[in-house]
């Protein structure tokens, strides 16, 4: 199998309600999240591709709208990177992205999560 990917970023604020009160993530703070969305599938005989990048980009923009420059606590009770990545994958699948194989979501340059649906 072959995979394609799309990389992008979005900015959002959050606080984690289930950490101790003195934990730095208990306070409202922001991140520039980096995301990599991977789709795996056969290469079409006629098209020569798995999926049109434009379709993936368009669908991702629909999902990104709910995250970018938002307070994530409005959408999520506990907006951890793990929960956000799973939510993104579910939304992409709802919007008919077939073959979604991996979401990598980074909170910082050095840490993040990989979700394999």
Q: Catalytic: 25?
A: yes
- pTM above threshold 0.85: yes
Q: What is the pLDDT of residue 1?
A: 83
pLDDT, tens only, 35-69:
999 999 999 999 999 999 999 999 999 999 999 99
Active-site residue 29, yes or no? no
- Point out the catalytic residue in the list 29, 69, 90, 94: 69
Domain span holding position 72: 2-115
Low-confidence ranges of the chain (pLDDT < 50): none
Buried/exposed code over 72-88 (b: 16+ C-beta within 10 A; e: otherwise): bbeeeeebbbebbbbbb
- CATH code: domain of residue 80: 3.30.479.10
Q: Is 33 exposed, middle or buried (0-12, 13-18, 19+ CB in 10 A)?
A: buried
Q: Name the domain count of the chain.
A: 1
- Residue 107 to residue 99: CA distance in whole angstroms: 25
């Amino acid at each position: 199998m072959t995979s394609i990917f799309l990389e992008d970023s979005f900015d959002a604020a959050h606080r984690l309600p289930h950490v101790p009160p003195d934990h730095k993530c208990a306070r409202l703070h922001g991140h520039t999240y980096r995301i990599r969305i991977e789709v795996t599938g056969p290469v079409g005989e006629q098209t020569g591709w798995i999926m049109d990048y434009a379709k993936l980009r368009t669908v991702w923009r629909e999902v990104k709208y709910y995250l970018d420059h938002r307070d994530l606590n409005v959408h999520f009770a506990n907006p951890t990177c793990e929960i956000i990545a799973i939510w993104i994958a579910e939304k992409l699948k709802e919007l008919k992205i077939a073959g979604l194989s991996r979401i990598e979501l980074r909170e910082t340059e050095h840490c993040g999560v990989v979700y394999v649906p």
